Structure 1
Amino acid sequence: MTSTTTKPRPARAPKPEGQWKVDGLAPLNHDEQVKQEDPGIAVKQRVIDTYSKEGFSSIAPDDLYPRMKFVGMYTQRKQNLGGEHTGKDNSELHDEYFMMRIRFDGGQSSPERARVVGEISRDYARSTVDFTDRENIQLHWVRIEDAPAIWDKLATVGLDTLDACGDVPRVILGSPVAGVAADEIIDGQPAIDVIKNDYLPRDEFQNLPRKFKTSISGNARQDVTHEIQDLAFQGVVHPELGPGFQVFVGGGLSTNPMLARSLGVFVTLEQIPEVWAGVVGIFRDYGFRRLRNRARLKFLVAQWGPEKFRQVLQDEYLGFALPDGPDPAPNLIDRDHIGVHEQNDGRFYLGVKPTLGHMSGEQLIAVAEIAEKYGVTRIRHTPFKEVLFLDLEQEQIEPFSAELDALGLYTKPSEFRRGLLSCTGLEFCKLAHVTTKSRAIELADELEERFGDLDSPITISLNGCPNACARTQVSDIGLKGQAVSDADGNYVEGFQVHLGGTVGEGANFGRKLRGHKVLSSELTDYVVRVVGNYQDKRADGEIFRDWLLRADEEDLQ
């Protein structure tokens, strides 16, 4: 009898991840090849010189995808294409119109800026204005022929669309009340201005593995959702060094949600731009480029851990050690700025909420006119799709609020309308599976009709796809759009339900009930049922979020 032994196979070498400092610069997919062949931002001049003159059909494929993103433009979805078409090739899905995203770093606006954007919307974008949860404004129905005129008009008030999309540092979120809030720890806006004006234009930051999201806030409210950013600087007070910032890295939602990790350091206001450049440099040089669905910074942070990340940052990019620093005291609720708040100079700011952050161009022009009437020179956007008006005198608040209410900007929205977020959905987005905005408006109206208001904060988000643009996983009720089966076995629009997600103290992603899906046609009845169960079964003083965490499953079905 002979025995044979099988030699173990040698372990396969892992595939290269496309990390420039590890694997070299050779592009491992088409997107990386396109970015190396010609910078994305270079497409702007071709839009001006050629595409705006020769029309949509003249746009080269690699300029249409992906380079147009680098100048803040995505093709929008053809109208009346249902969710069953999602996932098909862009050439089948796209219309010959664009969504255009305008950057407002730190949410900084003014009556002049509001009027200009409103006029652009009215004249070139079928009067669409969508405030985003990244403090931007998005327009729809933009023709390539009109892009140069829009850019020229934006430039008259210091605005642009450059790097609003694409594999670049996106708009920098900042506290909308930086420099004026009575509860501010430190004003972070100067650092945003330095990064936007001095760092962003540099070529070294124009080819990242994927998008890169930053926030900088010195506000005690923690008003920029630092837990879900690639890089966040959040205000803290060091017991010896005074006010400054803690640094968080590796946050993000989408199909692999992760909360940002604290680096445990203390950074001064003056150091922020250098530290920002170092973290972006790590992402550029060590970020995964081979697979786009693993190309966000959060995957590198998950692999390295915050300790190694800090060491590499200090040793290879800064050249000095950062002192240890405290994490901010957690703030669970009251992160938005709705209503009247006192400033640090004795004046007041007023926060209002357009439903779902949607407005018409004419409404935005009217906002500018009302602001100027009352001498307001500073307007701000927020990550909760609010609009703030700064520097009001006390006697101005009541008449000013009345004029905004008449315009459809709610100064005292119900908790339902206040905490409601929605993405674009099937109306314009090529990734969406379901309609979101009209469902959300219907939902807000019905909840107010049934309950009036709620004596508890409540956040509800409707997302058309898994990408979580409306923060599905960190909402009290997060609704992720997908095709579901109805009673007859037909695939129809519906939502997967996430319950009890939150940022702040006890930050976590919402839980999913096993096998629980809701048809779009039954969505309003479902949310009404859950809110009704909360009102019937809560303990005294118990807020909706806490009840969700202990509620029986049958009360959540």
Structure 2
Amino acid sequence: MITAPKKESKAARVERIKKEKDGLDVLQDIYLYAITGEAVDPEDIDRLKWYGLYTQNRNLQDENDETLYFMLRVKLIGGELNLEQLKTIADISKRYARGTADFTTRQDLQFHYIRVVDLPEIFRLLDSVGLSTIFAAGDVPRNVVSCPVNGIDEDEIADVRDVVDKINEALKGNRAFSNLPRKFKIGVNGCSCNCINHEMQDLSFNAVKQENGKIHFAVSVGGGLASNRRVADHIGYVTPSQVLPLTKAVIKIYRDNGNRDNRRKARLGHIIEEWGISKFREILQSNLTFRIKDPNEIEYINSKHRDHFGIHKSKVKNSSFIGCALNSGHIGLEGLEKLVLLFEKYDAKALKATVTQNIVITQVPTKNAQALAQELEEVGISPIPSNFKAKIQACTGLNFCKFAISETKGAAKNLVEHLEKKFPDFGERVSISINGCPNSCAHAHIVDIGLIGTKVKNKEGQSVVGYDLFVGGFLEGVNTQFSKKTNIKFPQEELNENIENLITEYLTSDFKSLREYLLTKSTK
């Protein structure tokens, strides 16, 4: 009797694919597919992630268009784009991406409608200005996030740019780390307001000034969202020279011990949950040649106030920086071209992306800063954003993501404009996140108002696209609280009305803060 082969699980399939051919080795296949026009092997499609490529939803694709389009993610080291790079990004957006471009929550930039045939030229253009897509996605260490005003902020604790560069350089395309159980996220912070959100990183380093004036880094491990929702554990302190060896040691532990049978339980935080933090710290210490100094948790400000909006004097003489809100990271070709023109007009040199999908223009002659800020506002890039626009985030959404149920970017823009019109004088900063699916890529569980795409019943009893409402989340070190489910769901077309009603009810209530009011909507 012949037994039918056992169906391969998703995790087993991914592990087999990685074992048969390293994701880094798919580059030669990309060039071959581009030249020959041959259909991409389905298993190579998984490997393409190692070069920042994901297949996209056909939602906006013409019915007769059979082209296989991709989203392409470009790593911005330190979150930075200088003027030359900005021009190249605009050129790629115009020629190869149908005018698309969005900043992400890991200080990267994404294009859509990318064709395989165009990848060799896109890679050439990126390389010509020092940009890359290597390890922008896949089961690898992702882009190291850091404060966008490293080295220029007068209030910073430490300039960590050299630390960030060393980690990124050591990990980029490193075959020792090209086959992890899943992605691995690192953050390095020297900012006084902790704007990298260390609580949700797999591994993070927060600069702390010692009594003798020297800088040490507070090390935290195992943070995450979605299926790995947990606050990172603080495990002690290391010196700047110890950051890189500790980083490699943690990744090796993760590589060798992470769950490869279930991708929903394959993050570093799951190892820590299984072992306990004491065992994890003990094993980590045994792999180091130096001693991790004892932990001593420090206080952090609330995530609602972690930003750099407005005009600020830089440490660099006669220079300023301008923090600006976009709308859930969307910039597009029009926005890129406007930035290029304004940079050239006012002699600005660079921008940096933030982990909240906004930007900071970092090298602006002080004499030009006010005029530039005014023109930025006129084109919808806001140095002094409303309390609704400042903290709005949205994932890729239904238009391009295969996992999404609901639309996001357009919904975020419309919601902000609606709330600004209805409540022009609203005095509290409101963090809002709109997500197309439960993967929560826009961090719905750490904001005041989190919206997650789902199917709901409309008034006629029909199943339609909508949102599930979560409320009351924030980051604040050990005081962090994840948002709570409300069991309130509504169709997508009722989004503006429902959030307006929440704000109206709060304003007519006796509650002292929006968060206190929102938590009355949560389920126990």
Q: Kindly indicate whether residue 20 of structure 2 is the aligned counterpart of residue 37 of structure 1.
A: yes
- The CA RMSD over aligned residues, in Å, is 2.1
What is residue 47 of structure 2 aligned with on the other side?
A: 67
Q: Kindly indicate whether residue 56 of structure 2 is the aligned counterpart of residue 76 of structure 1.
A: yes
What is residue 342 of structure 1 aligned with on the other side?
A: 313
Counterpart amino acid of residue 507 in structure 2: Q
What is residue 73 of structure 2 aligned with on the other side?
A: 101
Pairs within 5 Å for 1:86-165: 96-165=68-137
What is residue 259 of structure 1 aligned with on the other side?
A: 231
What is residue 511 of structure 1 aligned with on the other side?
A: 484
Instruction: Say which of 153, 157, 161 aligns to 1:185.
Output: 157
What is residue 9 of structure 1 aligned with on the other side?
A: none
* Number of residues of Structure 1 aligned to a counterpart in Structure 2: 508
Alpha-carbon distance in structure 2 between the residues aligned to 1:527 and 1:380: 31
Alpha-carbon distance in structure 2 between the residues aligned to 1:519 and 1:256: 28
Offset from partner CA, 1:66-86 (integer Å, 9 cap, x none): 1010110001001259xxxxx
TM-superposed CA distance for 1:546, in Å, is 4.2
TM-superposed CA distance for 1:95, in Å, is 6.1
TM-superposed CA distance for 1:154, in Å, is 0.4
Offset from partner CA, 1:397-428 (integer Å, 9 cap, x none): 22111222233211222111111111111100
Using structure 2 for the length normalisation, give the TM-score: 0.93
Q: Is the 8 A contact 1:457 1:543 kept in 2?
A: no
Q: Secondary structure at the match of 1:245?
A: strand
Greater shift in the superposed pair: 30-39 or 136-145:
30-39
Counterpart amino acid of residue 325 in structure 2: K
Alpha-carbon distance in structure 2 between the residues aligned to 1:538 and 1:395: 46
Q: Kindly indicate whether residue 412 of structure 2 is the aligned counterpart of residue 412 of structure 1.
A: no
What is residue 507 of structure 2 aligned with on the other side?
A: 535
Q: Is the 8 A contact 1:236 1:326 kept in 2?
A: no
Counterpart amino acid of residue 22 in structure 2: P
What is residue 46 of structure 1 aligned with on the other side?
A: 29
Q: Secondary structure at the match of 1:216?
A: strand
Q: Is the 8 A contact 1:73 1:99 kept in 2?
A: yes
What is residue 221 of structure 1 aligned with on the other side?
A: 193
Pairs within 5 Å for 1:318-329: 318-329=288-299
Q: Secondary structure at the match of 2:293?
A: coil
TM-superposed CA distance for 1:329, in Å, is 1.8
Q: Secondary structure at the match of 1:529?
A: helix
Q: Kindly indicate whether residue 180 of structure 2 is the aligned counterpart of residue 208 of structure 1.
A: yes
Structure 2 stretches lacking a partner, 5+ long: 1-9
Instruction: Say which of 15, 27, 39 aligns to 1:58.
Output: 39
Greater shift in the superposed pair: 241-250 or 418-427:
241-250
TM-superposed CA distance for 1:445, in Å, is 1.3
Q: How has the CA–CA distance of structure 1 residues 328 and 110 changed in structure 2, closer, same or farther, with 3 Å as cutoff?
A: farther
TM-superposed CA distance for 1:304, in Å, is 1.7
Larger Rg: 1
TM-superposed CA distance for 1:353, in Å, is 1.6
Q: Secondary structure at the match of 1:358?
A: coil
TM-superposed CA distance for 1:517, in Å, is 1.4
Alpha-carbon distance in structure 1 between the residues aligned to 2:34 and 2:125: 16
Alpha-carbon distance in structure 1 between the residues aligned to 2:513 and 2:245: 42
What is residue 271 of structure 1 aligned with on the other side?
A: 242
What is residue 23 of structure 1 aligned with on the other side?
A: none
Using structure 1 for the length normalisation, give the TM-score: 0.87
Q: Is the 8 A contact 1:262 1:306 kept in 2?
A: no
Give the share of equivalent positions with the same residue, in percent: 34
Alpha-carbon distance in structure 1 between the residues aligned to 2:172 and 2:72: 19
Counterpart amino acid of residue 508 in structure 1: Q
Q: Is the 8 A contact 1:338 1:386 kept in 2?
A: no
Q: Secondary structure at the match of 1:487?
A: coil
Q: Is the 8 A contact 2:320 2:362 kept in 1?
A: yes
TM-superposed CA distance for 1:345, in Å, is 4.0
Alpha-carbon distance in structure 1 between the residues aligned to 2:280 and 2:67: 42
TM-superposed CA distance for 1:355, in Å, is 1.8
Alpha-carbon distance in structure 2 between the residues aligned to 1:524 and 1:408: 20
Which 4+ stretches in 1 moved above 4 angstroms?
none
Q: How has the CA–CA distance of structure 1 residues 28 and 351 changed in structure 2, closer, same or farther, with 3 Å as cutoff?
A: closer
What is residue 487 of structure 1 aligned with on the other side?
A: 459
Q: Is the 8 A contact 2:227 2:265 kept in 1?
A: no
TM-superposed CA distance for 1:104, in Å, is 0.8
Q: Is the 8 A contact 2:60 2:400 kept in 1?
A: no
Q: Kindly indicate whether residue 395 of structure 2 is the aligned counterpart of residue 423 of structure 1.
A: yes
Q: Is the 8 A contact 2:135 2:173 kept in 1?
A: no
Alpha-carbon distance in structure 2 between the residues aligned to 1:226 and 1:498: 22
What is residue 307 of structure 1 aligned with on the other side?
A: 278
What is residue 7 of structure 2 aligned with on the other side?
A: none
Q: Secondary structure at the match of 1:70?
A: helix
Q: How has the CA–CA distance of structure 1 residues 498 and 553 changed in structure 2, closer, same or farther, with 3 Å as cutoff?
A: closer
TM-superposed CA distance for 1:250, in Å, is 0.9
Counterpart amino acid of residue 52 in structure 1: A
